Amino acid sequence: MSELRPAATPSLTALGYGAANLGNLFRPLTDDEAWAILEAAWDAGIRYFDTAPHYGLGLSERRLGAFLRTKPRDEFVLSTKAGRLLRPNPADDGGLDLDNDFHVRTDVRREWDFSESGIRASLAESRERLGLDRIDILYLHDPERHDLDLAVAEALPALVALREEGAVGAVGVGSMVSEALTAAVTGADLDVVMIAGRYTLLEQPAAADALPACHATGTDAVAASVFNSGLLAKPRPARDGRYEYGRLPDELWDRLTEIVAVCDGHDVPLPAAAVQFPLRDRAVRSVVVGGSRPAQLHQNAEWMSQPVPAALWEDLADRGLLPR
C-alpha cells in the first residue's frame, strides 16, 4: 500500500441510480420505457448513475449513455465497471441471457479478463458503448467470482495506473462479498468501493471488516442493493419475497419482522429507514438504488427525504438489530 492519500471520489448525490434494470433485468423494457425511468431519476435530483457491461450485455451502457449525452457533462457523475469483456458468442442460438436474469440476446458473451490489457480494453469499449469520453469512477466488478488474488495482483494496479494517467477520475471495486472488498481496500490504493447488499438495514457484515478497512485507509464507500432484493422496498415485506435469488432464511425473516415493528413504533416507513441507514456510516457517500418504473424513482427520492428520528436507530441498536 502507498502512503494514505485523499480519495479522488467525485461529489455524489446521496441517492444514486443503479442501471441494471436498463439492461432488461428480470423483464424487458422498450427504449422509451428506459428513457422515462432515467427522466424520472433526473427529475428526482439523482445525479449519480452506475452501470456495467454485465448489465444486459452492454444494453444498459448504451441506453444510459444515450440519455446522459443530452445532459450537461459537469452535472452528473458516471461509473461503470471492468473485469468482464463482451465478445462475439459463437454458441449463440438466438436465445436470451436468462441464466443471468437479463432479457437480451446472447449474440455476445462475457469473458473474464483481469489483465492490464483487458482492463484497458474494457474501459475503451465502455466509452464507445456509452458514447461519452469521460468516466468518473471505474470499478472492478465481482472480483471474487473469478480470481481475487489475480484481481489484487494485476487488475487493481491496472485501475490505479488508469487513474494516475487521468484516464478515469477514481477507481474501486464493486462486490457482494465483504471479505473481497476488505482484501481490495487493504491491497490497493483505491478511492471507493461499492458494497452491494452487505451493509443494509437487515444485515451488516461489512461493518465487521470492509467499512473499518475503509475508515483506516480513507477509502469512500457506496452502498448498493440496500433493499435486499426488494424485501425492504415496501412498508410491509412479504414472507415469500426473494432474497439474493433464493428463499429468505427464517432467521432473517424473524429479524425483519422485529425491524418493521420498531419502524412502526416510530411511524417511519421501512423503505425510508432502509435507504437512509447506510449513510449513517461516515465512509458511505451515496446509496444506489435501481428501479424499472418511473414511479419507483420518485418514491425512492421521497423515502430518502422522509424524516427519521435518531431514536429509531437507538431502538434498533438496543434490540441488537443494528451495530453500535
From 17, 48, 55, 199, active-site residue = 55
What 3 state SS string does 272-312 have?
HHHHHHHHHCCCEEEEEECCCCHHHHHHHHHHHHCCCCHHH
* Predicted pLDDT at 6: 74
Asked whether residue 318 is assigned to any structural domain, the reply reads no
* Predicted pLDDT at 2: 42
Q: What are the grid coordinates assigned to 99, written together?
A: 441464466
Asked whether residue 302 is assigned to any structural domain, the reply reads yes
CA-closest candidate to residue 296, choices 323, 324, 271 = 271
Q: Which domain holds residue 70?
A: 15-248+270-309
Q: Please say if 199 is a catalytic residue.
A: no
* Predicted pLDDT at 34: 98
- Residue partners of 142: CB distance under 8 A and separation at least 6: 54, 83, 174, 175, 176
Q: How many Cα atoms are found within 13 Å in the side-chain-facing hemisphere of 55?
A: 26
- CA 256/CA 313 separation, integer angstroms: 15
Asked whether residue 55 is assigned to any structural domain, the reply reads yes
* Average pLDDT per block of 10 residues along the chain, 324 residues long: 68 97 97 98 98 98 98 97 97 95 97 98 98 97 97 98 97 97 97 97 96 98 93 88 73 94 97 98 97 95 97 97 90
* Predicted pLDDT at 245: 60
* Predicted pLDDT at 1: 41
**Backbone angle region of 297, left / alpha / beta, with phi > 0 → left and psi within -120 to 50 → alpha:** alpha
* Predicted pLDDT at 324: 82
Asked whether residue 154 is assigned to any structural domain, the reply reads yes
Asked whether residue 265 is assigned to any structural domain, the reply reads no
Asked whether residue 118 is assigned to any structural domain, the reply reads yes
Asked whether residue 278 is assigned to any structural domain, the reply reads yes
CA-closest candidate to residue 307, choices 269, 260, 258 = 269
Asked whether residue 125 is assigned to any structural domain, the reply reads yes
- Counting the structural domains of the chain, the total is 1
- DSSP code, position 249: P
Reported as a single tens digit per residue, the pLDDT across 208-266 is 999 999 999 999 999 999 999 888 999 998 887 667 666 788 888 999 999 999 999 99
Find where cell 495482483 sits: 153
CB 37 within 8 A of CB 291: yes
pTM: 0.95
CATH code of residue 277 = 3.20.20.100
